[in-house]
Chain A
């Protein structure tokens, strides 16, 4: 058991079991007998790790005694699950219809240019991940974007640099 529970998030550590796995154990124990719980477990596991690393998916598959192909199939099907680490700040530009017709497309281009990453990408310093989201239900403020929990409405491309600066300054 112990060998695959080794720490995977902190390179260079002594290889002791990552305590995050204890939390995953709790999640699995909680849902083990619940039918069809895989997606709920993956949600909570992603909360614990910030994303779903390969080793963790193996761990969940093993813990639930289900094929790894099933877990991998689910994590790659749903856009909510991420298989790669994401930045400290997740920028999600709403690309719902209302936001699109009010110029969300140029907002995405502006972020891509400023961050030099494509949608789905993370900056090399792991500070920002650029994503697009479907309607977040704030069409009145279109175009809308979120940075983690912060919501920005009525945003034009000219404000992109300023928004990024605000988060860079927090460092």
Chain B
């Protein structure tokens, strides 16, 4: 197809057919501010911040949706364009709380940025502002409708990317709101707590339920023994909060920071991930042997698990009974670790640092504890950890290196890559292959399962059979593949489903980023770490071997089942 030639602010530019004016402007090196636009979402064209003047048109055009055309002459910086943009921001501010200084998105708020960029200096409208109740029903996600600017990004990701539709637009005109049906709150509907809505929210209308106060309280309570576990994806993103380059791997600084915050033990969720690989691998081999409950679907993504309970209750038998790494880890902290070091479980306060908001929900599930105690006492996200580090006055960038504590800080490269889509599959394959064949893998890196495609498939020869696997990221893709399986149009032995785009590195608790390649950068940090690891297979992690030898017994054995496996139950969709 022939290229389109147009002029943006007197710069000639050529773009491919199908490009928008915004695409063309980027190409011409012209910055156009946007708000409702999000590169991962369906185009909306509703906020009108990105308007431009196009010669021959009566009205301004929203560049994010307007198709570039041959001979088009575009002005992005004329008097009328600037005035209009300022006026739009002023209108938004007129219906927005003026509490920027105490807002959790202070400094990461896109509305604030726009107001600054466009030199909006006053708000002249002195009319009514919304005063709606906060939705604090969910343990993971808080909705503040008063801050909402109705850009619709949250709805688009919830409806199209995740196929959940826990929230939607209701009412119309100036009374339009983003809300749950009948304003019942997120806890009542099918919200899976994935937090993808938070990730795309430009303001603080959606945010995680902050658990840091709870953690501070525990840290300052000298009678409590505080144990923290940190998920793999956290170390690939935390640096962004402190001005380090996206994709910087900050494992050792992160460990130092956690020690400075006062945690008695700093452990690694990757240990839990290694354990999950061993349990899940054996479970798979077992199901393959008996040819039942196939395909086995991974269970480490709590957003996905909750989704399955709401939307595919009839397929819950396919979901691996393995707890997620966080919960396996939590169960061991309150049993194995407590016994080994002679600390009463009730004196342990166990914190998990996660890239994920659904982990908050997972930790609160009634199956996830024993003797009246939850295995994980508090879950904070990468963002909450960053706030705590800042609040404690820790100069993160200049921290000395520090290592995880042993034994639960020891992990293999398999545990590391759990944090990225395809990682669970690759980790399981590394172990399953060797357990099943008894031979050593020649190439531990399964390039076929890596990448960011919504659904990726691979076939792996395994002792005379061909193991068919699929890797799925986002719940929308999960819906598609599950429906195919139900209809008999697809068949696999193993499916990895991660609820978030890109896997945990793109989790709902990760730092806000405007870098379009952020997922690739975070992923390559994890793959780099895997590459550098001495042990790259979960079943070869010496601490795991020791755990089975001295405490658990056999993989999938009785004790392992009691501590490391769980069950699911149907939840209502309506």
Residues of B within 8 A of A54 (CB): 182
A57-B184 Cα distance, complex, nearest whole Å: 14
B165, B172, B182, B574 interface centre (most CB from chain A within 10 Å): B574
> Known contacts A54-B182, A67-B159; is A72 also within 8 Å of B574 by CB?
no
Q: Which of B46-65 contact A (CB under 8 A)?
A: none
**Interface size in chain B (residues, C-beta < 8 A):** 17
Q: Which of B152-172 contact A (CB under 8 A)?
A: 159, 164-172
B168-A61 in contact (CB<8A): no
> Known contacts A58-B574, A67-B159; is A72 also within 8 Å of B172 by CB?
no
Of A61, A62, A67, A72, which is within 8 A of B170 by CB? A72
Residues of A within 8 A of B167 (CB): 69
A70-B167 Cα distance, complex, nearest whole Å: 9
A68-B172 in contact (CB<8A): no
Residues of A within 8 A of B182 (CB): 54, 57, 72
Is A106 interfacial (CB-CB < 8 Å)?
no
Is A19 interfacial (CB-CB < 8 Å)?
no
**Distance in Å from the Cβ of B170 to the closest Cβ of chain A?**
4
A69-B172 in contact (CB<8A): no
Residues of B within 8 A of A73 (CB): 168-170
Residues of B within 8 A of A77 (CB): 169-172
Is B138 interfacial (CB-CB < 8 Å)?
no
Of B164, B172, B181, B189, which is within 8 A of A71 by CB? B181
Residues of B within 8 A of A67 (CB): 159, 164-165, 168, 190
**Minimum CB distance partner of B158 in chain A:** A69
Of A57, A58, A62, A69, which is within 8 A of B165 by CB? A69
**Distance in Å from the Cβ of A60 to the closest Cβ of chain B?**
10
Is B196 interfacial (CB-CB < 8 Å)?
no
Is A76 interfacial (CB-CB < 8 Å)?
yes
B171-A69 in contact (CB<8A): no
**Interface size in chain A (residues, C-beta < 8 A):** 14
Is B226 interfacial (CB-CB < 8 Å)?
no
Residues of B within 8 A of A69 (CB): 159, 165-168, 180-181, 189
**Minimum CB distance partner of A66 in chain B:** B165
A99-B170 Cα distance, complex, nearest whole Å: 30
**Minimum CB distance partner of A4 in chain B:** B574
Residues of A within 8 A of B190 (CB): 67
A54-B182 Cα distance, complex, nearest whole Å: 7
Q: Which of A29-77 contact B (CB under 8 A)?
A: 54, 57-58, 61-62, 67-73, 76-77
Count of CB-CB pairs between chains A and B under 8 Å: 42
A54-B184 Cα distance, complex, nearest whole Å: 11
**Distance in Å from the Cβ of A64 to the closest Cβ of chain B?**
11
A76-B165 in contact (CB<8A): no
Residues of A within 8 A of B172 (CB): 76-77
A68-B165 Cα distance, complex, nearest whole Å: 8
A72-B172 Cα distance, complex, nearest whole Å: 12
A73-B171 Cα distance, complex, nearest whole Å: 7
A62, A69, A70, A73 interface centre (most CB from chain B within 10 Å): A69
A70-B190 Cα distance, complex, nearest whole Å: 13
**Distance in Å from the Cβ of B313 to the closest Cβ of chain A?**
14
Residues of B within 8 A of A57 (CB): 181-182
A68-B169 in contact (CB<8A): no
B189-A68 in contact (CB<8A): yes
Residues of A within 8 A of B181 (CB): 57, 68-69, 71-72
**Distance in Å from the Cβ of B164 to the closest Cβ of chain A?**
8
**Distance in Å from the Cβ of B182 to the closest Cβ of chain A?**
5
A62-B573 Cα distance, complex, nearest whole Å: 8
A83-B189 Cα distance, complex, nearest whole Å: 19
Residues of A within 8 A of B169 (CB): 73, 77
**Minimum CB distance partner of B175 in chain A:** A76
**Minimum CB distance partner of A63 in chain B:** B574
B164, B182, B190 interface centre (most CB from chain A within 10 Å): B182
A54, A62, A71, A72 interface centre (most CB from chain B within 10 Å): A72
> Known contacts A69-B180, A70-B165; is A76 also within 8 Å of B159 by CB?
no
A71-B159 Cα distance, complex, nearest whole Å: 13
Residues of B within 8 A of A71 (CB): 181
**Distance in Å from the Cβ of B161 to the closest Cβ of chain A?**
14
Q: Which of A66-103 contact B (CB under 8 A)?
A: 67-73, 76-77
A70-B168 in contact (CB<8A): yes
**Distance in Å from the Cβ of B231 to the closest Cβ of chain A?**
30
Of B164, B170, B180, B573, which is within 8 A of A76 by CB? B170
Residues of A within 8 A of B159 (CB): 67, 69
Q: Which of B179-213 contact A (CB under 8 A)?
A: 180-182, 189-190
Residues of A within 8 A of B573 (CB): 62, 68
In the assembled complex, 10 residue pairs joining A and B whose CB atoms fall closer than 8 Å, in A order, are A54-B182, A67-B190, A68-B574, A69-B165, A69-B168, A69-B181, A72-B168, A72-B182, A73-B170, A77-B171
Q: Which residues of B contact A (CB under 8 A)?
A: 159, 164-172, 180-182, 189-190, 573-574
**Given A69-B180, A70-B168, A73-B169: 14 more A-B contacts, CB < 8 Å:** A57-B181, A57-B182, A62-B573, A67-B168, A68-B573, A68-B574, A69-B165, A69-B168, A73-B168, A76-B170, A76-B171, A76-B172, A77-B170, A77-B171
Which 9 interchain pairs have the tightest Cβ spacing? Answer: A69-B168, A67-B165, A72-B181, A76-B170, A68-B181, A69-B165, A73-B168, A58-B574, A62-B574
